[in-house]
Amino acid sequence: MSTPAPAVAARALIKTYPGDVTALNGMDVTVEAGTVFGLLGPNGAGKSTTVKILTTLARPDSGEATVAGHDVLRHPDRVRRAIGVVAQKSGADPVATGRENLRLQGRLYGLKGAALTRRVDELLERFDLAEAGARIVRGYSGGMLRRLDVALGLVHRPEVLFLDEPTTGLDPEARTAMWDEISRLAGDEGLTILLTTHYLEEADRLAERIAIVDRGRVVVEGTPDELKGELRGDAVHVELRKEGDRVVLTAVLSGLPGVHEVLVEGRRVSVRADDGAAAVPALLAALERAGAAVAAATVARPSLDDVYLRYAGRRFSEAESQSRSQSQSPELLPAGDAR
């Protein structure tokens, strides 16, 4: 048997907006069918623009993409039937009830009668909205509204579900609940999920593969473990009781097997170690022998933040604040593509 075609395949997407804004600058994305893929990047990186192109709501200046085997430019109608979209901003009608929203969405996809009622009941139940289904959406909490958005995207049983920042703006409790929902969806047979997020933890937790996006292109891609693994080892931080002699301690620690990148700053000693936990006893013993008494030691697995720093050349939080101060909010710009 040949390997199944990827659920999403985008090549060299370029998209510019008026005013010389390069939203996408050679964006490549491949998502294997039946997997959860995360596009992770700071605000303004081009995540929503990518989703809009893949869901036929915007056209690239150049490049090509297929979704569920259909070309987004040549057969947008086929793409639309195969996908569910949960946009960054809710698409639910605030003055209708949850149930009415779902029924309308179902009818748009040709469901009717008992089949429609069954599907709507099933989704209300599944997304814990059975009671809220009779209430006007305007009164929903952020978490309820987001769950309804996901349910709306699933009415017609799509093959590929796009979730654009599914938990942005949710409080921690609602975010955790949404993570559970998405994990459950990921277990659904055959469903492919492409989600975007600017939360490192969210990508780490939900996505089997992650592409880190910066300035309109992918800077690195892999499983969360692969990406972190490329950083060669754990960070070990040691706090000394008194300031240590930098030269002496650096020399002593650099000689230990499996230890690299030794940094001694006052009372703080940081190293990278192939296996952090295994390196700690030797590290502590070497420090004691050198006359440096230890107050505390911690081992940290490399984080996606470290990965981003390595490949994008700046900290994730820095990129977020830079993008906030540089870019105008697209909401304030004249309407271009449908958003």
Ligand X SMILES: Nc1ncnc2c1ncn2[C@@H]1O[C@H](COP(=O)(O)OP(=O)(O)O)[C@@H](O)[C@H]1O
Per rule CB under 6 A, is residue 276 in the interface with ligand X? no
Q: Which of 11, 17, 25, 100 forms a contact with ligand X (CB under 6 A)?
A: 17
Q: Which does 330 bind (CB under 5 to 8 A by kind): ligand X, Mg ion, none?
A: ligand X
Which residue number, 88 or 176, has a Cβ lying nearer to Mg ion?
A: 88
Per rule CB under 6 A, is residue 45 in the interface with ligand X? yes
Q: Which does 46 bind (CB under 5 to 8 A by kind): ligand X, Mg ion, none?
A: ligand X
Per rule CB under 6 A, is residue 223 in the interface with ligand X? no
Per rule CB under 6 A, is residue 99 in the interface with ligand X? no
Query: For residue 318, with 0-12 CB atoms within 10 Å meaning exposed, 13-18 middle and 19 or more buried, which class applies?
Result: middle
CB 305 within 8 A of CB 228: no
∠ CA(73), CA(79), CA(83), 5° rounding?
A: 140
Stretch that binds ligand X, among 27-35, 45-53, 221-229, 294-302 (CB under 6 A): 45-53
Per rule CB under 6 A, is residue 217 in the interface with ligand X? no
Per rule CB under 6 A, is residue 324 in the interface with ligand X? no
CB 132 within 8 A of CB 141: no
CB 68 within 8 A of CB 84: no
CA distance linking residue 339 with residue 327, whole number of Å: 17
Per rule CB under 6 A, is residue 169 in the interface with ligand X? no
CB 102, min distance to Mg ion, A: 25
CB 164, min distance to Mg ion, A: 6
Per rule CB under 6 A, is residue 48 in the interface with ligand X? yes
CA distance linking residue 28 with residue 50, whole number of Å: 9
Q: How far is CA 199 from CA 5, 204, 339, in A?
A: 29, 9, 22
Terminal Cα-to-Cα distance of the chain (whole angstroms): 40
Contact footprint for Mg ion (CB under 5 A): 47-48, 88
Nearest alpha carbon to residue 196 among 12, 15, 5, 46:
46
CB 240 within 8 A of CB 287: yes
| Binding string, residues 20-39; x marks residues near ligand X by CB under 6 A | -x-x----------------
Q: Which of 6, 38, 41, 143 forms a contact with ligand X (CB under 6 A)?
A: 41
Per rule CB under 6 A, is residue 105 in the interface with ligand X? no
Residue numbers at the binding site for ligand X (CB under 6 A): 17, 21, 23, 41, 43-49, 327, 330, 333, 336-337
